């Protein structure tokens, strides 16, 4: 398995470009299942998760063609509305084919994603919503099996804010008979990007980005072209890397538009952040001030940036509290950061981080996507060499990571 070797101690400087958002591309590529006409997507990030989803769509009968960041999907003939365990277990967001398949084919058989490192991550809200729309749903032998001649519009209320739950139900509602209202909907920008794509296909959606989304079902959707929004979590990750190393960088093809909570925290930590039209500049102080973090659904501080800020706080001056309110087990990076010398105490869903002057390089292990990013940031500031194992986690969500870090002056290389 590949490893990443990082020589710490370099202040990041320079410029690199941000890729399309993984968490927008995944639901948006699934939206192609809703129409018989071809769909073209641009600014699609080249990531393992995207490759996995395209393979999954291909085995359903979707014709897939790809030219770098441009993907064309033709779902005119879906002959196998099934998402098998072998594929779903490697990429839980495969659950996003469930809503579109039921809406388009009247049937779907999708493997339950199962848990993952950060939590149980059930899909009960996805199922509850489809049942409310008239689908007969059974869960047997590890598969969700949904059948309905045609979904009907309904008033849906999710027990908690769920991003992919909102996305699945919004896609399903596009072809339902009548109006669907999703209350307590997720307001994440990726939900809005998906809604914009669906509207371009002829869907009738209002309220995306608020906690009440209305969808008036139509008979069919047309093909369209859609450009995937920039990845705000990739953006935040590089901003944190520059902040932790006392660097000065510029990120292009992105914006602070959906990062207010993160940018506020970076400024509280002592960074200067300047927003340009489609770029961001950050200049960090020699040493950051520790900042308290509490994760919450958008527009509050994103859980996907929690691990990166734990790395920041590990070397900042002062102590800080980090509260993780979304997932039940999203502190696995803490024990790995402790191997690098971080002073972190975990108590349930709260971590108290006491900043230290210096981290020491060591061998550490990535456990999940954002935890891996946290270890990269720590490795960039640690004294000496840090070896990060199991970096396949990183490859799921960060396109050309070592190339982009090298463009910012980092001493990083991948070894098999």
Binding site, residues? 22-23, 92, 121-125, 304, 326
CA distance linking residue 243 with residue 88, whole number of Å? 36
Is 23 a binding residue for ligand EPZ by CB under 6 A? The answer is yes
Choose one: 116-124, 202-210, 214-222, 243-251; the region binding ligand EPZ (CB under 6 A).
116-124
For residues 148 to 187, the per-residue mask of contacts with ligand EPZ, x marking binding by CB under 6 A and - elsewhere, is ------------x-xxxx----------------------
What's the farthest any 2 CA atoms get from each other in the chain? 63
116 carries an active-site annotation: yes
331 and 351 Cβ atoms separated by less than 8 Å: yes
Residues annotated within the binding site for UDP-N-acetyl-alpha-D-glucosamine are 92, 121-125, 304, 326
Helix and strand element counts for the chain (H, E): 14, 24
Residue 184 or 222 having the CB closest to ligand EPZ: 184
Query: How far is CA 391 from each of CA 4, 115, 332, 401, rounded to the nearest angstrom?
Result: 7, 20, 15, 11
The region of 122-130, 142-150, 348-356, 376-384 touching ligand EPZ under the rule CB under 6 A is 122-130
Please name the residues in contact with 148: beta carbons below 8 A apart, sequence gap of 6 or more: 102, 106, 107, 130, 133, 134, 135, 136
125 binds ligand EPZ (CB under 6 A): yes
Q: Which candidate in 105, 116, 174, 271 is catalytic?
A: 116
Asked if 139 interacts with ligand EPZ (CB under 6 A), we say: no
294 binds ligand EPZ, rule: CB under 6 A: no
Name the one range near ligand EPZ by CB under 6 A: 9-17, 50-58, 115-123, 286-294: 115-123
Give me the torsion for CA of 374, 378, 384, 387, rounded to 10°: -10
Report if residue 35 touches ligand EPZ, rule: CB under 6 A. Answer: no
**Torsion of the alpha carbons at 372, 112, 155 and 212, rounded to the nearest 10:** 10
Q: Looking at residue 10, what DSSP letter applies?
A: P
Q: Does 370 bind ligand EPZ (CB under 6 A)?
A: yes
Please report whether residue 327 would count as binding ligand EPZ according to CB under 6 A.
yes
Q: Which residues contact 254 (CB under 8 A, 6 or more apart)?
A: 17, 18, 230, 231, 232, 234, 235, 278, 279, 280
CB neighbourhood size of 350 (10 A): 14
Q: Which is nearer to ligand EPZ, 27 or 153 (CB)?
A: 27
Q: Is 50 in the site for ligand EPZ (CB under 6 A)?
A: no
Q: Which parts of this chain interact with ligand EPZ (CB under 6 A)?
A: 23, 26, 93, 119, 121-126, 160, 162-165, 303-304, 326-327, 369-370, 397
Residue numbers annotated as active site: 116
């Amino acid at each position: 398995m590949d490893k990443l070797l990082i020589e710490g101690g370099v202040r990041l400087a320079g410029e690199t470009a941000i890729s399309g958002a993984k968490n927008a591309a995944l639901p948006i590529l699934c939206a192609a299942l809703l129409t018989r006409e071809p769909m073209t997507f641009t600014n699609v990030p080249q990531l393992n998760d995207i490759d996995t989803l395209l393979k999954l769509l291909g085995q359903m009968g979707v014709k897939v063609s790809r030219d770098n960041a441009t993907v064309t999907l033709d779902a005119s003939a879906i002959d196998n509305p099934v998402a098998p365990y072998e594929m779903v277990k490697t990429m839980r967001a495969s659950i996003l084919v469930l809503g579109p398949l039921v809406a388009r084919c009247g049937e779907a058989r999708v493997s339950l994603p199962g848990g993952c490192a950060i939590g149980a991550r059930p899909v009960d809200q996805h199922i509850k919503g489809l049942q409310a729309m008239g689908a007969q749903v059974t869960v047997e032998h590890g598969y969700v099996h949904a059948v309905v001649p045609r979904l009907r519009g309904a008033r849906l209320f999710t027990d908690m804010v769920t991003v992919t739950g909102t996305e699945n139900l919004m896609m399903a509602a596009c072809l339902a008979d009548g109006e669907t209202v999703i209350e307590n909907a997720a307001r994440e920008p990726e939900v809005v990007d998906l809604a914009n794509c669906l509207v371009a296909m002829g869907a009738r959606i209002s309220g995306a980005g608020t906690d009440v989304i209305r969808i008036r079902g139509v008979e069919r959707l047309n093909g369209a072209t859609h450009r995937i929004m920039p990845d705000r979590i990739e953006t935040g990750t590089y901003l944190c890397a520059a902040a932790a190393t006392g660097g000065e960088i510029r990120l292009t093809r992105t914006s602070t538009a959906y990062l207010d909570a993160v940018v506020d925290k970076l400024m509280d930590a002592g960074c200067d952040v300047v927003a340009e039209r489609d770029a961001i500049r950050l200049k960090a102080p020699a040493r950051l001030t520790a900042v308290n973090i509490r994760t919450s659904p958008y527009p509050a501080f994103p859980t996907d940036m929690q691990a990166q800020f734990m790395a920041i706080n590990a070397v900042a001056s002062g102590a800080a509290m980090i509260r993780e309110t979304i997932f039940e087990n999203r502190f696995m990076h803490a024990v790995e950061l402790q191997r690098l010398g971080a002073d972190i105490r975990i108590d349930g869903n709260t971590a108290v981080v006491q900043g230290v002057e210096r981290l020491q390089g060591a061998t550490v292990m990535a456990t999940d996507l954002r935890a891996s990013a946290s270890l990269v940031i720590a490795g960039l500031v640690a004294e000496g060499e840090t070896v990060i194992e199991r970096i396949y986690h990183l490859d799921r969500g960060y396109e050309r990571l070592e190339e982009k870090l090298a463009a910012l002056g980092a001493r990083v290389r991948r070894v098999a």
